[in-house]
Amino acid sequence: MATIVELTRTPTEEEIEQMCLAAQEAARIHLMSEISLKRVDDIDITIEAIGDKPLTLLVDVAIELDTGNENLGPLVDAAIDNAFLAAEEKARELNLCQDTPA
Protein backbone atom coordinates (compact mmCIF):
# COMPACT_ATOMS: atom_id res chain seq x y z
CA MET A 1 0.00 0.00 0.00
CA ALA A 2 1.43 3.35 -1.02
CA THR A 3 1.10 6.36 1.24
CA ILE A 4 1.74 10.03 0.82
CA VAL A 5 3.38 11.62 3.81
CA GLU A 6 1.93 15.05 4.35
CA LEU A 7 3.73 17.28 6.83
CA THR A 8 1.46 18.97 9.34
CA ARG A 9 4.06 21.63 10.11
CA THR A 10 7.32 22.95 8.79
CA PRO A 11 10.23 20.85 10.10
CA THR A 12 13.23 22.47 11.75
CA GLU A 13 16.68 22.12 10.21
CA GLU A 14 17.54 19.64 12.95
CA GLU A 15 14.46 17.51 12.16
CA ILE A 16 15.30 17.52 8.45
CA GLU A 17 18.85 16.45 9.31
CA GLN A 18 17.49 13.63 11.51
CA MET A 19 15.29 12.36 8.66
CA CYS A 20 18.21 12.49 6.21
CA LEU A 21 20.52 10.64 8.61
CA ALA A 22 17.88 7.97 9.25
CA ALA A 23 17.44 7.50 5.49
CA GLN A 24 21.19 7.28 4.90
CA GLU A 25 21.70 4.76 7.69
CA ALA A 26 18.80 2.58 6.50
CA ALA A 27 20.22 2.45 2.97
CA ARG A 28 23.70 1.59 4.28
CA ILE A 29 22.37 -1.14 6.59
CA HIS A 30 20.41 -2.71 3.73
CA LEU A 31 23.42 -2.75 1.43
CA MET A 32 25.69 -4.22 4.10
CA SER A 33 23.12 -6.89 4.95
CA GLU A 34 23.18 -8.11 1.35
CA ILE A 35 26.84 -7.74 0.35
CA SER A 36 30.00 -8.47 2.31
CA LEU A 37 32.01 -5.36 3.09
CA LYS A 38 35.07 -7.21 1.72
CA ARG A 39 33.51 -7.13 -1.77
CA VAL A 40 32.67 -3.43 -1.70
CA ASP A 41 35.06 -1.03 -3.42
CA ASP A 42 32.96 2.12 -2.95
CA ILE A 43 29.56 3.17 -1.60
CA ASP A 44 28.01 6.58 -2.08
CA ILE A 45 24.70 7.41 -0.41
CA THR A 46 23.43 10.94 -0.85
CA ILE A 47 20.26 12.30 0.72
CA GLU A 48 19.21 15.77 -0.37
CA ALA A 49 16.39 17.70 1.27
CA ILE A 50 14.65 20.35 -0.81
CA GLY A 51 12.18 22.81 0.68
CA ASP A 52 10.46 22.44 4.00
CA LYS A 53 6.71 22.14 3.47
CA PRO A 54 6.46 20.41 1.16
CA LEU A 55 9.73 18.67 1.91
CA THR A 56 11.20 16.64 -0.92
CA LEU A 57 13.91 14.07 -0.24
CA LEU A 58 16.11 12.93 -3.09
CA VAL A 59 17.95 9.67 -2.45
CA ASP A 60 20.89 8.53 -4.57
CA VAL A 61 22.64 5.24 -3.88
CA ALA A 62 25.66 3.98 -5.76
CA ILE A 63 27.72 0.91 -4.96
CA GLU A 64 30.77 -0.46 -6.72
CA LEU A 65 32.13 -3.93 -6.10
CA ASP A 66 35.79 -4.84 -6.37
CA THR A 67 35.03 -7.74 -8.73
CA GLY A 68 32.20 -9.03 -10.84
CA ASN A 69 29.56 -7.55 -13.06
CA GLU A 70 26.55 -8.27 -10.88
CA ASN A 71 23.30 -6.52 -11.62
CA LEU A 72 23.08 -4.29 -8.56
CA GLY A 73 19.92 -2.48 -9.71
CA PRO A 74 17.48 -4.43 -7.52
CA LEU A 75 19.77 -4.08 -4.50
CA VAL A 76 20.11 -0.32 -5.01
CA ASP A 77 16.34 0.04 -5.53
CA ALA A 78 15.67 -1.82 -2.27
CA ALA A 79 18.19 0.36 -0.42
CA ILE A 80 16.44 3.48 -1.75
CA ASP A 81 13.04 2.12 -0.68
CA ASN A 82 14.42 1.45 2.81
CA ALA A 83 15.83 4.98 2.94
CA PHE A 84 12.44 6.51 2.17
CA LEU A 85 10.70 4.26 4.70
CA ALA A 86 13.20 5.27 7.39
CA ALA A 87 12.73 8.97 6.62
CA GLU A 88 8.94 8.56 6.83
CA GLU A 89 9.25 6.66 10.10
CA LYS A 90 11.49 9.40 11.53
CA ALA A 91 8.97 12.06 10.42
CA ARG A 92 6.23 10.16 12.28
CA GLU A 93 8.47 9.79 15.33
CA LEU A 94 9.03 13.56 15.30
CA ASN A 95 5.25 14.17 14.98
CA LEU A 96 5.69 15.93 11.66
CA CYS A 97 3.13 14.16 9.53
CA GLN A 98 -0.11 12.40 8.96
CA ASP A 99 -0.65 9.62 6.45
CA THR A 100 -3.21 9.78 3.69
CA PRO A 101 -3.99 6.95 1.25
CA ALA A 102 -2.39 7.41 -2.17
Arithmetic mean of pLDDT, 21-35: 95
Per-residue model confidence as pLDDT tens digits over 40-53: 889 999 999 988 87
| pTM exceeding 0.75 | yes
Q: How confident is the model at residue 2 (pLDDT cuts 50, 70, 90)?
A: very low
pLDDT value, residue 4? 58
DSSP codes joined into one string, 7-70? ESSPPPHHHHHHHHHHHHHHHHHHHHHHS-GGGEEEEEEEEEEEESSSEEEEEEEEEEESS---
> According to CATH, what is the number of the domain 3-93?
3.30.300.100
Higher-confidence position of 1 and 28:
28
